[in-house]
Amino acid sequence: MRPIYDFEGFTPPRLSEAELRALLEQRRQKRLALTLTLLCALLIAAAFLCAAYFSPVDPALALSLAGYGCMTMAGLSAAALLLFRSDAGARLKKEG
């Protein structure tokens, strides 16, 4: 029976402990960034819900909450754009 996989076809790249630790730190930072992004998204949703709730009672408060939600959404999208663009650029430089 012929084997399906050829394990002697190439040698895997050598990884040092420092490279593995750097990769682990990168993954931890990405998880933290994702957690913070989700937390901010929940905060934005709460601001819009509070704005809808307070609109009959105090329109100025509702407007300020809606403005806060819009400004936070703009900042969050700009931060996500910078984060993912720099990550994609670093990945392209590493491959090229």
Q: How far apart are the first and last CA of the chain?
A: 40
Q: What pLDDT is stored for residue 57 in this prediction?
A: 93
Q: Which amino acid is at 20?
A: L
**CB distance 83 to 33 below 8 Å:** yes
* Neighbour tally for 83: CB within 10 Å: 15
Q: What is the pLDDT of residue 71?
A: 92
Has this prediction a pTM greater than 0.85? no
Q: For residues 60 and 65, give the distance between their C-alpha atoms in angstroms, rounded to a whole number.
A: 9
pLDDT in 10s for each residue of the chain, 96 residues: 677 777 777 777 787 888 889 889 988 988 888 888 888 889 899 999 999 999 999 999 999 999 999 998 898 888 878 877 766 556 555 654
Domain extents in the chain: 31-95
